[in-house]
Amino acid sequence: MQTQKLNLFIVDDNKSAGEELANYLRGKFGNRLKITTFTDGKSCLEEVESDTHIVILACSPEDKNGLLILKSIKAANPATEVVMLAEREDIVMAIESFKAGAKDLVVKESGSEKKISYIIRRIVMAPIRIIVKELGLSQRLAMFLLTFVTVGIVVWVALSIIKH
């Protein structure tokens, strides 16, 4: 069975920083991700579709354009996971980002690539995504099956406890 690659977009006005992050992630995830870089949000928005899985969006706290792009991405495809990449810590921007639907926020600093890699790994390895990808089921059916199995395990454990 051919495994579907997840589409990951990196948006950073610093082209070399975006390419550096892309190369790092290619090294970590190999052929599981199809990575595309953009130097501006407008170009990214033109490409966001239903099969856009992850967007890493670099922005600065002074630039409210990043939040507008985040909102536009979520409007185009609510299932897209957006990770904000901030120049520095800013609690107001963090709160606004999460309100707008960001999955996470990472501050650009030493080791931020590892943090982003960890976040992406959690997204890639999400149980429902694995069931959909590997079994070819719809997302709704995968959610139903996962819920059914989880409830079954809980009931089994509860009955085991009651018997003892």
pLDDT tens for the chain, 164 residues long, are 345 688 999 999 899 999 999 999 999 988 889 999 999 888 898 888 878 899 999 986 566 688 899 999 999 988 899 999 998 888 888 899 999 999 999 998 888 999 999 999 888 777 777 777 777 777 778 778 878 888 989 999 888 888 87
Walk me through the domains of the chain, giving residue ranges and CATH numbers: 6-125 (3.40.50.2300)
How much is the pLDDT for 49? 84
Give the C-alpha separation, 60 to 48, whole Å. 21
Sheet containing strand 33-38, edge to edge, reads 33-38, 6-11, 52-59, 81-86, 104-107
How much is the pLDDT for 4? 64
How much is the pLDDT for 84? 95
Our measurement of the distance from residue 56's CA atom to the centroid of its chain's CA atoms, rounded to an integer in Å, reads 8
Prediction pTM value: 0.74
How much is the pLDDT for 63? 64
